Structure 1
Amino acid sequence: MKLVVVSAGLGVPSSTRLLADRLAAATAADVATDVRVVEVRELAVAIAHHLTSGFPGRDLAAALDAVARADGLIVVTPVFTASYSGLFKSFFDLLEPDALAGKPVLIAATGGTARHSLVLEHALRPLFAYLKAVVVPTAVYAASEDWGAQGLAERIDRAAAELAGLMTGPAETSETRVARVAEGAMGNTAATPGNSGREAGHGNPGEPGPDQSTRAAGPVGRAAGASAAADLLDVVPFEEQLARLRAA
């Protein structure tokens, strides 16, 4: 397993890098993984050249490739003007469009005041949802007063456990989910009490007879069942998702 940490801190030392390291250590404690840290600050000149010329330098190309090949991703940015930093955004602008598709991502940020904590929900989460990543439910924000205070360690451990669960959980494509749910829906229909009587020509007037039941189980019925199942696939209660992660 490969875990890549993208830290966009500008200072040395950096609270952004400190938070990134703590998140990486907590994740590595839950799942065996090789950890690589990408310091965006060190790639600033190469990022600017790539944006203007279209050609990445060797170090930048290696960093982008590592992010694309990672099994899990931790991204941490400082907050500037109520959003992520421009350097952080520029780095992810250089990725291929589908590089993060289906990839588990833990989002985090640091700032001078807790008033900027909503940057996680109004800026970072929409960005990585657009990039088709799978963002873990718990995001971590660390203000200046959070360091050494109660609560930060618990948020770090919870977010890391969710990321580890997504990294090690079984993968299932959307096509597989549609087929599985459609098959289950057809099985439940066949096993519904009273179906056997209607299939034998009994039951209340207006209920489907033998020929109608046959048609419902045919290609048109299966297609309708698959379509209905596909419409419901994305609606999964948060409590159920979290329970699966904890069980893993």
Structure 2
Amino acid sequence: MVNLSLIGCRKCRSLPPLQQLPKLRELYIEGMHEVQHLGDGLPFPSLEMLKFEDMPAWKEWSFSISIGVEESRSQFPCLRELSLRGCPNLITVSPLRLPSLQKLYLEECEEVVLKSIVGVTSLTSLEVVDIRGLSQLEEALVQSLVALESLVFEKCNQLMALWQNGGEVAQKNNLVRLQRLRVASCPQLVSFGEELHDEGLPCINLQELYIRDCENFVCFPKAGVPHMLRLCHHLKH
């Protein structure tokens, strides 16, 4: 079996023994309202797409690491796409080492889920929607986003800046491939960088910039916007 979907099993408290499916490539789990813990029996050596949706009771996603096993070992070495939607109580997550991840989508989750994602140097698309506790991207995550092309923030009510210091990010060539930046309905956002008068956007190849319904946004970088920018929207309602 290479594809598996489990949808609307509201009374199930655990998953079947999926570790018996080493060739599984796509796994979609939705509406398992009684599941609280996941992790035993993983990793999946062939999994490429993993999606969770509407998991209100899910609290813990953990992986046991045996003594002598390298910390850099990935639970999902081939995973290209990861999506979590409607997992508001997921507060305990073991570090997720995802060396092949290209697309990450998080909606209605705690910031701890985003913090658990490490070593995503292949990530090209990151979209975060309604992430509680997120005030800015952590420096360790930003440093790994060397391949990122699209970055989207929506409905992140505590977001105040996108990163700490745009100048430092630029010097380290982080976000150098970013082409699309979209920020919508983030009412506490003040500026791109944590420093109000950041020197400039670190995204030298940015082609599309979209800001909407961010009523406290007050400051563009001193150096303006990248010269390659084709579309720029700054809307307030």
Query: Do they fold alike, i.e. is TM over 0.5?
Result: no
Name the larger-Rg structure: 1
Which has a greater percent of helix? Answer: 1
Which has a greater percent of strand? Answer: 2
